[in-house]
Amino acid sequence: MMTRPEGTFVISWSQTEIDGLGGAPVSALECGATWRWSGDAVRIDGASDLADISDTGGDDALRRRAAAGARKLIGRALIQEGVRTPFTQVNTDLDRCFSISDGQRTWVATLIDMPEIARPLMMFTGDMPPVDRALVITEEPEAGWRPQVLRDGAEGVVCFTPGTRLATPDGPRLVEELVAGDRVVTKDSGTEEVLWIGQRHVSGARLYAMPDLRPVRIRSGALGLDRPEGDLVVSPDHRMLVEGPAALALWGEREVLVAARDLIDDHKVMRDLGAKSVTYIHLMLPRHGILFANGMETESFHPAATSLDAIAGDQLDRLFDVMPDLRVTPSAYGPMSRRVLGRAEAALIRRVT
């Protein structure tokens, strides 16, 4: 019989930093990385919803029951706040845990899938690790684990970089010169109004600590004649339009979207290792669309394709002012304009083209 822990606590992903980066992708949970949390933890044991959390079965069984109860409790709260997605899936496998240490003690965090809010919650049974203190990740989630989400898309930033030329009714314009209210040319809907523009600066220190945030450089003509016209530099999760008979044969659609990171071949498409820092620019239209960047078809910003936690507070406020439903769920923005290929699918289409 194990000793009952002091409590069961939950914190949100947005309360944490990995290697100094807030809103880091879940993939950054690697051994040796520094981890820190701030704010207040929510204690959830003692509620009637968690009455089935007993002391039998050992630590692993306790974490499973606590995670199931936590998700049920938090899911109900989200429904009361207006999220109408059913909360029926509870994932509490032990490969969803990671360990952190201060060199003397170790704490185990259980990641709880919350598809409705895109990022996992973290649950601790026992006492919490010290707040606002750099700890070291000593054990990471099993390889291949990723949180389940109710959306297509990657976890990172989806945006352009300064110097990118976007097609507009008045000719090509630099993305950094556009403002909300300007119009751009789209592949499907003629000209569309830019509803919102956001920016995120990533320092050289963060690029060093989190190389997955480095931009991807697509060389001129890498994807076909004048596709793009001149080098195109985008965030790694920014998707490019890929078209042709291979996509039609494999997925029944001639045009699909593929993340820039999944096009890397280290010859024509590569990580931009020379970037000292980078500013990423988001550009949102009334609906997800296909723009022309340096003559290349590529996507506009979709709120469900990134973590809203990564958007600065004032910019996020403007986004919610433009589209209030996004406060409830990013999925309220609408569907993706094309089928989005995952990494394995992208690798397949590269082999047959």
What does 106-156 look like in DSSP terms, one character per residue? EEEEEEE--GGGSS-EEEEESSPPPTT--EEEEE-PPTT-----SS-S-SS
**What percent of the chain has a predicted confidence (pLDDT) above 70?**
75
Task: Compute how many other C-beta atoms are within 10 angstroms of the C-beta atom of residue 31.
Answer: 11
**Tokens matching residue 334:** 């609408």
Q: How confident is the model at residue 246 (pLDDT cuts 50, 70, 90)?
A: confident
DSSP-assigned letters across all residues of 65-107: HHHHHHHHHHHHHHHHTT--S--------GGGEEEEE-SS-EE
Q: How confident is the model at residue 223 (pLDDT cuts 50, 70, 90)?
A: confident
The CATH 2.170.16.10 domain(s) of the chain lie at 165-352
pLDDT for 253? 86
pLDDT single digits (tens) 324-346: 998 888 888 999 999 998 877 78
Residues in Cβ contact with 15 at an 8 Å cutoff, skipping those fewer than 6 apart:
37, 38, 39
3-state SS, one letter per residue, for 162-228: CCCEECCCCCCEEHHHCCCCCEEEECCCEEEECCEEEEEEECHHHHHHCHHHCCEEECCCCCCCCCC
* Length of the chain counted residue by residue: 353
The residue type of 329 is: T
Q: How far apart, in whole angstroms, are the C-alpha atoms of residue 97 and residue 140?
A: 7
Using an 8 Å Cβ cutoff, are 89 and 71 in contact?
Answer: no
3 DSSP assignment: P
pLDDT single digits (tens) 58-88: 445 544 554 455 545 444 433 333 333 333 3
Q: How far apart, in whole angstroms, are the C-alpha atoms of residue 198 and residue 136?
A: 32
Average pLDDT over all residues of the chain: 79
Q: Between the CA of residue 93 and those of 64, 220, 236, 274, what are the distances in Å?
A: 7, 45, 30, 40
pLDDT at residue 281 tops 90: yes
Domain 165-352 CATH class label: mainly beta
160 DSSP assignment: B
1 DSSP assignment: -
Q: How far apart, in whole angstroms, are the C-alpha atoms of residue 178 and residue 94?
A: 47
Q: How confident is the model at residue 245 (pLDDT cuts 50, 70, 90)?
A: confident
Q: How confident is the model at residue 184 (pLDDT cuts 50, 70, 90)?
A: very high
Using an 8 Å Cβ cutoff, are 60 and 247 in contact?
Answer: no
pLDDT for 304? 85
Beta bridge partners of 36: 17
Ramachandran angles phi, psi of 349, nearest 5°: -70, -30
